[in-house]
Structure 1
Amino acid sequence: MTSRPALDVRTVAESEFADWQRAMNIGFLREPTLPEDVLDARRAQFTAGRSTGAFDGGRCVATFRSFAQELTVVGGATVPADAVTNVTVSPTHRRRGLLSRMMEQDLAAAKERGDVVATLIAAEYPIYGRYGFGPATSATEWTIDVPRTGLDPRRSGPEDGGRIDLVDGEDVRKLGPDLHERLRRRQPGAVDRDELWWRTATGEVRFHPTFREPFHAVYRSAGGEVEGMVAYTADDHWGDAKQPLNTARVKWLIAVTPAAERALWHYLCSVDWVVAVRTGWRAPDDLLPHFLPDPRAAAVTTQADWLWVRILDVVRALEARTYQAAGSLVLEVADGAGLTGGRFRLEASADGAGSCVPTAEGADLTLSVAELATLWLGDESAVRLAALGRVREERAGAARQADALLRTSRRPWCPDIF
C-alpha cells in the first residue's frame, strides 16, 4: 500500500481563487467551470485571509470562507459575527478531517478577532453540532392557493391609503438598504446586508450565469414612506384548456409594518395569471396566513432549521441581549473545543438588562455550548431540551425559569441565506 501525501490546509491566495472556486462548484454539484465574467464578479467576495482551502498536489479539494457580519439579538443590539459559508469537501477527499481542520482554524481566528458568535446556514443537519453550532432560528415556506384565499379578485390596491409601485433594480439599490436596516434593528436573528448584496440581488453584479431579473414592488404608506418591498419571479405555465397556471416565487420580502406586509401579500395574490404564490423562507410565526380571509389557502410547503449559531464568548453573548423577566440562573456550559465555556451566573433585571459573570456557585442547568446557542435567541424551550436529554436540570424548576428569562413573544428570524 502507498501512503497518502499530507494535505495542505491553508489560506487561499487571490491567484488561487479560480481553482478554489472550481473546487467549491464541484462540492456543491454545480458546473465546475464558470464563465470568465461570472468568475470575475465573484472575485468581489474575496477577502484576504478569510478563504481557506485544502490542497492535494497543488489542486484545491476543499473550500471554506468566512466574512464579517452583524447579527441582531433580542432587544435590538447587534454583535460581531463570523459568518461561515462556501464549505465543501470534494468527493475524493471525504472523511479525512479536512472540514475539522478548516473549521478549527477559522473559529480560532474569529475568537482572536473578538467575534461574539459564528453563524452559518447548514446544508445538512448532522454536520455542525460537533463544532459547537446549534440551530438558533427556523424558517417556513408556504404555498398560497390564490383562488382559495377569499380575496376579492377585483381589488385594485391597498385599502389603507398606501400604494404599491413597481420599481427597477436601481430604485431597489437606493431604497432597499435603509428599509432593511430598519427591519434588522428590530428583528432578532437578522443579519446585515452590504452593498454587494444589493448589487447581486438586482443583477448589477451577476454571480450566476443564469441570473433572471426579478420583478420588484414597493409599498408606500399614506404618508409616502417606504415600509415594504418584495422581489419575485413568475413562471409561464398554461393548462391544456388555455388557462393560466402561473406560480409567483418570492425571492425576498421585507416590511417594517403589518400594513406593508398585508399589502404586499395581497398584491402578489392579485397579479393576473398567478394561481399560486411560493412565499420563500419566512419566520415560522409569520402573520401571512392570517392576512388571508381563508388562512388554509396558505399551506406549509417546508419547515426546517435555518440560522445556526456557535457562541464564542458566553459572557458577551448573554449580556448583549435583553430578557423577558427579572431573575438569575447559573449555567454550566460545556465546550469541548475550549473556545468558551465554564460556569456563569446570569442576572436579569426588571428592565430587561442582563449581566453575566463567571462563578463558583452550584449550577442550575448544565448544557453544551451548542444547546446554549439554540436557546440564546429565544426560539427554543429549555423545558423541551431537558425532556430530550439535551439540557440537564441540576435544580428542580431551573429549565422552566430559563424559559421565563430567555424565550421571546415573537420568534427570531433570519431573512437571508449566505
Structure 2
Amino acid sequence: MSPSSRPAPADAPAPDETTEHGRTPDAPAPHGGVEIRNVADAEFTDWLKAVSTGFLRPPVTSESDAVSRRANSDLARTQGAFDGGRCVATFRSFAQELTVVGGAVVPSTAVTNVTVSPTHRRRGLLTRMMANELAAARERGDVVATLIAAEYPIYGRYGFGPAAGVTEWEIEVGRSGLDPRWSGPADGGRIDLVDSAEARKLGPELFERFRPRQPGAVSRDARWWDLATGLVRRDDHPFTEPFWAVHRSASGEVRGLLAYHADETWSDAKQPLNTATVRGLIALTPAAERALWHFVCSVDWITKVRTGARPHDDLLPLLLPDPRAARVVTQADFLWVRVLDVVRALEARTYGAAGTLVLDVTDPAGPASGRYRLTADATGRARCAPTADAPDITLDVSELGTLYLGDESAVRLASLSRLAEHTPGAAPHTDTLFRTSRRPWCPDVF
C-alpha cells in the first residue's frame, strides 16, 4: 500500500455518474480533462508503470510481470485516472478477511496501490477514487475497509483510523544474556530447517490456525505464499531465498514458522559480525515463539538480530534475560481500519465486560453515521442496534476505527478532544469494554 503523493482536498468534487467506463460514451472527460474509470485489460501495463511512478520506482514493467500481476488483479476493482490517455493516478482493492477481538473474521475491502503522479496532485483524484471504492464496498457487504498508510495525514479524512501498530527491535546477541550453548527446546520439541517448498506446504495450514488467535491479522491467499517462497517473483520485489525454521512439538505438531536472512559482515580482525533479519515469525504457543527467537539468536556468526515488524507488546524484549539488549529501531502505526457497517462490526467482536454504551458516530461520507446502542453480556458477546437514546459518547468514524481492535484508549482520545464524553465516566467505561489484554497486530503488508 500506498503512496498517494499528497492529501486530496477535503472539498473535492463528488464522483460523477458513470457508465462502466467512467462516463457516458463520447462525453468529454470531467474535472479538468481527467477521467476516472476502471482500467481496461490493454491499459494494465501502463497502470502498473503509474503505480511505480507513485512509489518512486523505475517506471518500467516487464511483460512477464504484467501478466503475473494481471492474473491477481480484478479490473472491476482497479481504478485509474487518465489525462489525455496517460494514467496519472491508481487505486486497487481486493477481498480480505480481518480477524477481530474474540477470533471472528469480518469481510473487508483491502485498499492498495494508491498513487497520484506528482504532476496531478491536489486535484481531488484520490477523493473521487476512494468514494467510488467505499460505495462499492458497502454494496458488496464489506464490514470494514483496511489499508497500510504510507503517509499519516491522508486517510483520516476518509474515515480510516490507525488500529494496530508495529515495533521493530535490534538485538545485540552478546548482551542478551541468552545461553550461548542452547541447542534446542527443553520441552522435547525441536526446530528443523526446511526449504521453501516445504515451507509452502506447511505455512498455509499453520497460518490458518494462527490468525484466529491474533486480532488485526488479515487473510493470506495462495499468491501470498507463492511470493513468500519464490514460486512467483515480481520485478519490484527481488527475491532472496530465506532460511526457514519450523518448530515442532514433542508429538511432531508444527507450532511455529520462522523466515530470516543474514548478511555477510566481518571485522578487520576477521571476526564475524553478521546480522540476521527476520522476515516473519508466527507461532501457536508462547513456548514455540520463545524457542524460535532463541534459535535465531543462537545461530553461529550472528551478532545482531533485526526482528522485523512485530506487535508493540511482543514477547520481545522481555524474553531476554537482559531486555536492554534489544533497542527499538521502528515504532509506528501500521494497519488502518475504516468501519462501513457499525452494527455488524461491533457485533462481530467480543468485549471485556458486560455493559451498555450508546455511541453517536459522525461520518461525513455517510455509511457509518448514526447513533447505536451496544449491549455486551457477561460472555463478551454483544448486540448492537440503531437507537434514538441520548449518547454516552460522540466520536468520528475514524476514531471508532482506532478503538475497534482494542489498541487505543477512549480516555486518551477524550483528553485529545477526539471523543466527546456526554455521560460522566463513559470514556473509561468504553475502555473497559473495548480494550484488550494483548494488543492487535497485522503481520502483513498489502
TM class, shorter-length: over 0.9
Partner residue of 1:79 out of 84, 101, 106? 106
Count the aligned residue pairs. 416
Residue aligning to 1:379: 407
Q: Does 1:369 align with 2:397?
A: yes
Question: Equivalents in 2 of 1:150, 1:410: separation in Å?
Answer: 26
Partner deviation per Cα, 1:200-248 (whole Å, 9 max, x = no partner): 0111000236221111110101110000001111111112111111111
Q: For the Cα contact (< 8 Å) 1:331–1:365, is it kept in 2?
A: yes
Q: Does 1:223 align with 2:251?
A: yes
Partner deviation per Cα, 1:130-179 (whole Å, 9 max, x = no partner): 00000011111011111111112222222221111111111111110111
Partner residue of 1:396 out of 424, 427, 437? 424
Query: Structure 1 residue runs of 4+, over 4 Å off?
Result: none
Residue aligning to 1:346: 374
Q: For the Cα contact (< 8 Å) 1:14–1:46, is it kept in 2?
A: no
Q: Does 1:185 align with 2:201?
A: no
Residues 29/193 of structure 1: CA separation in 2 closer, same or farther (3 Å cut): same
Q: For the Cα contact (< 8 Å) 2:54–2:118, is it kept in 1?
A: yes
The one-letter code matched in structure 1 to 2:108 is A
Alignment of 1:271-350 (within 5 A): 271-350=299-378
Q: For the Cα contact (< 8 Å) 2:214–2:441, is it kept in 1?
A: yes
Residue aligning to 2:86: 59
The one-letter code matched in structure 1 to 2:219 is D
- Report the alpha carbon displacement of residue 9 of structure 1 after superposing the two structures with TM: 0.4
- Report the alpha carbon displacement of residue 259 of structure 1 after superposing the two structures with TM: 0.9
TM-score where L is the length of structure 1: 0.98
Q: Does 1:162 align with 2:192?
A: no
Residue aligning to 1:46: 73
Question: Equivalents in 1 of 2:213, 2:142: separation in Å?
Answer: 21
Alignment of 1:84-163 (within 5 A): 84-163=111-190
The one-letter code matched in structure 2 to 1:345 is R
Question: Equivalents in 2 of 1:169, 1:393: separation in Å?
Answer: 53
3-state DSSP class of the match of 2:135?
A: helix
3-state DSSP class of the match of 2:107?
A: strand
The one-letter code matched in structure 2 to 1:347 is T
Aligned CA-pair RMSD: 1.2
Q: Structure 1: give runs of 5+ residues left out of the alignment.
A: none
Residue aligning to 1:24: 51
Partner deviation per Cα, 1:93-113 (whole Å, 9 max, x = no partner): 111111001100001000010
Question: Equivalents in 2 of 1:78, 1:155: separation in Å?
Answer: 39
Q: For the Cα contact (< 8 Å) 1:39–1:207, is it kept in 2?
A: no
Question: Equivalents in 2 of 1:138, 1:205: separation in Å?
Answer: 29
Q: Does 1:206 align with 2:269?
A: no
Question: Equivalents in 2 of 1:177, 1:70: separation in Å?
Answer: 15
TM-score where L is the length of structure 2: 0.92
- Report the alpha carbon displacement of residue 44 of structure 1 after superposing the two structures with TM: 2.8
Question: Equivalents in 2 of 1:112, 1:34: separation in Å?
Answer: 33
3-state DSSP class of the match of 2:127?
A: helix
Q: Structure 2: give runs of 5+ residues left out of the alignment.
A: 1-29
Question: Equivalents in 2 of 1:198, 1:341: separation in Å?
Answer: 38
Residue aligning to 2:24: none
Question: Equivalents in 2 of 1:208, 1:143: separation in Å?
Answer: 29
3-state DSSP class of the match of 1:242?
A: coil
Question: Equivalents in 2 of 1:208, 1:291: separation in Å?
Answer: 38
3-state DSSP class of the match of 1:269?
A: helix
Partner residue of 2:267 out of 212, 217, 239? 239
- Report the alpha carbon displacement of residue 313 of structure 1 after superposing the two structures with TM: 0.4
- Report the alpha carbon displacement of residue 5 of structure 1 after superposing the two structures with TM: 4.0
3-state DSSP class of the match of 1:174?
A: helix
Question: Equivalents in 2 of 1:270, 1:113: separation in Å?
Answer: 49
Q: For the Cα contact (< 8 Å) 2:90–2:116, is it kept in 1?
A: yes
